[in-house]
Structures are given as C-alpha cells and as structure tokens.
Amino acid sequence: MLRQENYETIQIEKEGGVAVLRLNRPERLNAVNGAMHSELMALFLDVQADPDVRAAVLTGAGRAFSAGGDFGGGSDMRSKSGLTMMQEARRIVDNLLDCEKPIVSAVNGAAAGLGATVALLCDVVVASRNARIGDPHVKMGITAGDGGAVIWPLLIGVNRAKYMLMSGDLIPAEEAFAMGLVNKVVDEGEALNEALAIARKLAAGAPYAVQTSKTAVNKFIKAVSNMVLPYSLAVEEVSMRTADHREAVQAFQEKRDPRFTGQ
C-alpha cells in the first residue's frame, strides 16, 4: 500500500484514484540522497499494490524535479556500498517499468541524472517551459549507468543519445520536445495541473485495457533494459572508485571546475 508513513523524502497524496508522488527535498533541488534512493526503489511497487490508485503523477517540490544524485556536503549517498547502490538502481528501473498503472511525470525545472532517467521512464512526460533535462553523470566523472543508456536511445535515437550522455549537457524543454524526449510543454507552473489532467483521464479508462496496453510497450523497454543495464551499472560502479570521480565531487563542493586526469 502507498502510505505516507513509509516515506521520508517523498510526499504522497491520493485523491479520486490518482496519487501525486512528490520528491520532497526542495532545499537540495530534490537531489537523490541515500534515503530517497531506497524509497524510489519501493515507490512503484507500492503504487502497483495500492487498490485505491489507478494512475499516478510524479513531480518535484519547489523549483526542480530532481537535480540527480546528491554529492553536496553532508550527503549520505556515499555511505552505501557501490554494490548496494547498483542493486537499488537496478530495482528502481525494473520496478518503474514493471508497474502496470499509468505514471505521468510533471517536470518542473531541472531533471538531471537519475532525476531525468526516472522522469523519462514514466509513461507520459509533461515539462514546464523552464524545465531543463539532461544526464550529467560524466561531469561527475562517472558513467551514465542508472538507466540513461536505456531510455535516451529509445526516445531520441542512438547518435543523439550518445552525444547527450557523453557531453552531460542539459537542454531546455522546447528542444526536448522537438527531440521527442517529452510529450508536452506547458507554461511555467502548469506542469502538475496538466499531468494531473492526463492522469485523471487515464484513471477513468478501463483499467485492464489501459494497463495491458502500457505493459505491452514496456515489455520492449524492459528487454532493452535487461540487455543494457547490467553492463552500464557495472561500469558506473567502477567509475565511482576513480580519482576523476573523487576530483569531481571535491570540485563540486568547492564550486570550481574539475581537473580530470583519466585516473
């Protein structure tokens, strides 16, 4: 069941068959710390298991959807072992793809790294005009391994995806729409309202027909994930032990450009 008491970093609201799932660390632009990483792993299982929920909206509190992994001072992201982190990352992707109920993401502001992956793996993506989407793993000296290599090529083609993942650039909402990353762009402040309207429409449909139509397409995405994700997560875990990653984290905390050496 989807209950607020089971979540510290995600706010849960349910009404009329639709659940609003709000990443709730606005003071850190909803960057994913250790607790949120674990809660994202459980979230989509709980959506699937809740008989009162027929569709869900995933969004972020405050000015951003999610800035990705939290590498700022005081973060507990590095307190977990690399193996634990990679196991959780695999389950976040698997559980999201296995959830049969429609999930609409409302991208309000930046969606980066894992934040972008989760937003783009949802069934419908609504972005506000001030949204920026990208996967800057490489800027932290680590491999884009937590699902970006699965969903980006499926949405925008392999060459565009490779460039986006190798550069780590974030792109504005209108460009993301033109590339096929998002379904709809709306005025700033309207992403959640539009996502809710879509979720309510899907929730009012015949549940079996809607859910199995989604699941059939997700079988295709899951097949790609099963091929790509074990490798991408393995090399991400290796990259997190490099000197370049340590330098990127230090540079981020010191607010300077990193000096990568290939070590």
What pLDDT digit, counting tens, does each position of 34-85 carry?
999 999 999 999 999 999 999 999 999 999 999 999 887 655 665 667 788 8
**From edge to edge, which strands make up the β-sheet containing 170-172?**
110-112, 132-134, 170-172
Tell me the pTM: 0.94
pLDDT of residue 79: 61
pLDDT of residue 74: 58
Residue 150: how many other CB atoms lie within 10 Å: 24
Contacts 24+ apart (CB under 8 A), 198-203: 198/104, 198/124, 198/126, 199/18, 199/55, 199/56, 199/57, 199/102, 199/104, 200/16, 200/17, 200/18, 200/55, 202/54, 202/55, 202/102, 202/104, 203/16, 203/17, 203/18, 203/54, 203/55, 203/102
- 148-168: per-residue pLDDT in tens? 999 999 999 999 999 999 999
pLDDT of residue 99: 98
Give percent of the chain with pLDDT exceeding 70.
97
Mean pLDDT, the chain, whole residue set = 95
For residue 201 the two structure tokens come to: 């429409």
Mean pLDDT of 191-217: 98
Helix (H) or strand (E) holding 222: helix 207-239
pLDDT of residue 156: 98
